Amino acid sequence: MNIRDAKYECMPREELEQLQLERLQATLNRAYKNVTFYRKMFHKSNVIPEDMQALSGLAKLPLTTQEDLRVNYPYGMFAVPLREVVRVHSSSGTTEKPVVVGYTRNDIKVWTNLVARVMTAAGVTRDDMVQITFSYGLYTGAFGFHYGAEAIGASVIPTGTGNTEKQIMIMQDYKTTALVSTPTYAITLAERMEKLGVNPKGLSLRVGLFGGEPLSEALRSEIETRLGISATDNYGLSEIIGPGVAGECEYKCGMHIFEDAFIPEIVDPLSGKQLPAGSTGELVLTTLTKEAFPMIRYRTGDITSLVYTPCNCGRTIARMAKTMGRSDDMLIIKGVNVFPSQIGAVLTAVVGAEAQYEIVVDRKGAQDLLEVHIEAAEGIFFDEMKRQKAFLEMVEKKIRSVIGVGAAVKLVAPNTIPRHERTTGRVVDKRMI
């Protein structure tokens, strides 16, 4: 069992919550004193940091959005003077200006240890040779893993991105044992190895840490089979710290969130209201240890759910499920929040990862109608009416049990659904509002 900071990762919940409350109070005080945005936010909500006498009080504060960070670009959200900042990174902003984040010397130390904890949970030890294929630059990924691996005592091979053949040569010659990459790049490496006649199983590679894009179960098993490694998922974002927020242990049953450093909440993406434990909704994170760039109730935009039962690995900290898409993708059907990825997951389970489908939402009178069109393919009995009917009924039942509303599932002729790049499902919302 590999646990780097058992004291924090296996704490009884009561003690953990006490620690969280103390750290939360310190964070709120720092933010209130030093960040105009947060001071205004407190005033607007009629709360002062001293009022925060229980963790439940956090829900009284408003949420912080990426738009708030943009408005305060570049340094408006910093809680320390720039002379105390030893590093800046930026987030991968999709539009306009990216968010600038800063770290004090202590922030770097804390961040390094958090990533070391993610890597340890994934099975990396001081004996590993860690090849990092993320981009070394403004993004947090490469530097986060670089420092984390060094803190464990592993050897880092900072190859950066690209030059796939050289990456493979290095893997062979330097005897890389751990790969840090995006899932897509792992597949690119496997494909190139096949072309070059390199047998991945003849390499020293044994473990992979994947980030930057979703690692679906189908993708995980493809990577594990083709590269002959154990593939683990982890979660992080620059606005919060970078990698090091959560990571899977060897049981791969959700990503352990380091709750001694972050408070996770799940909120309804529409109302912003906190949802009860176990609900699926948008992940909101509050940082507890950051000096330069504290974040209070930051909306990540990622849809997930939390589990608080202890894991077989011994950790007592919460686990987050794989992110199921972005809150912007949410559909409201008959008043129920539905994520297209939930339907996608059902179809992957019953039809396979290659299933081409389309989700069509329409409105008849005041009634929302949900249809799921699946393209006929091998294994879906297009010409046997009885079996086809039974199959469609089974899929309808599964979808209803997952999303909570009924959908009419129909088969459509092959190659009639427009293809999207890298995704198999698409959503057509015909409701005019």
* Segment interacting with Zn ion, rule: CB under 5 A, options 73-81, 210-218, 246-254, 396-404: 246-254
Smallest distance, Zn ion to C-beta of residue 301, A: 26
24 binds Zn ion (CB under 5 A): no
What burial class does residue 320 get, using C-beta atoms within 10 Å of its C-beta: 0-12 exposed, 13-18 middle, 19+ buried? Answer: buried
The Cα angle at residue 5 between residues 50 and 128, in degrees rounded to 5? 140
Q: Which of 125, 80, 122 is CA-nearest to residue 103?
A: 80
* Segment interacting with Zn ion, rule: CB under 5 A, options 73-81, 173-181, 245-253, 257-265: 245-253
**Residue 290 or residue 319: which is nearer to Zn ion going by CB?**
319
Tokens 């529409």 sit on residue: 270
* Segment interacting with Zn ion, rule: CB under 5 A, options 32-40, 63-71, 241-249, 282-290: 241-249
Among 101, 249, 338, 403, binds Zn ion (CB under 5 A): 249
Residues in contact with Zn ion, shown as a per-residue x/- string from 76 to 115 under the rule CB under 5 A: ----------------------------------------
Q: Which of 381, 373, 377 is CA-nearest to residue 411?
A: 373
Residues in contact with Zn ion, shown as a per-residue x/- string from 111 to 150 under the rule CB under 5 A: ----------------------------------------
Tokens 């200006």 sit on residue: 97
Rg (CA), the chain: 23
The Cα angle at residue 231 between residues 225 and 232, in degrees rounded to 5? 155
* Segment interacting with Zn ion, rule: CB under 5 A, options 82-90, 231-239, 310-318, 339-347: 310-318
Q: Are 373 and 410 in contact (CB under 8 A)?
A: yes
What are the backbone angles phi and psi of residue 83, rounded to the nearest 5°?
-65, -20
**Residue 251 or residue 308: which is nearer to Zn ion going by CB?**
251
Smallest distance, Zn ion to C-beta of residue 122, A: 11
Other Cβ atoms less than 10 A from the Cβ of 305: the count is: 19
Among 19, 108, 313, 369, binds Zn ion (CB under 5 A): 313
What burial class does residue 396 get, using C-beta atoms within 10 Å of its C-beta: 0-12 exposed, 13-18 middle, 19+ buried? Answer: middle
Tokens 């904890």 sit on residue: 117
**Residue 122 or residue 285: which is nearer to Zn ion going by CB?**
122
Smallest distance, Zn ion to C-beta of residue 118, A: 12
Question: Which residues, at least 6 apart from 60, have a Cβ–Cβ distance to it below 8 Å?
Answer: 45, 47
Q: Which 366-425 residues touch Zn ion, going by CB under 5 A?
A: none
Residues in contact with Zn ion, shown as a per-residue x/- string from 255 to 294 under the rule CB under 5 A: ----------------------------------------
351 binds Zn ion (CB under 5 A): no
DSSP letters along 347-414, please?
Answer: HHHHT-TT--EEEEEEEETTEEEEEEEEE--TTS-SS-HHHHHHHHHHHHHHHHHHHSS--EEEEE-T
d(CA 304, CA 158): 32
Smallest distance, Zn ion to C-beta of residue 171, A: 28
Smallest distance, Zn ion to C-beta of residue 315, A: 5
311 binds Zn ion (CB under 5 A): yes
**Residue 138 or residue 313: which is nearer to Zn ion going by CB?**
313
Binding site residues, Zn ion, CB under 5 A: 249, 251, 311, 313, 315
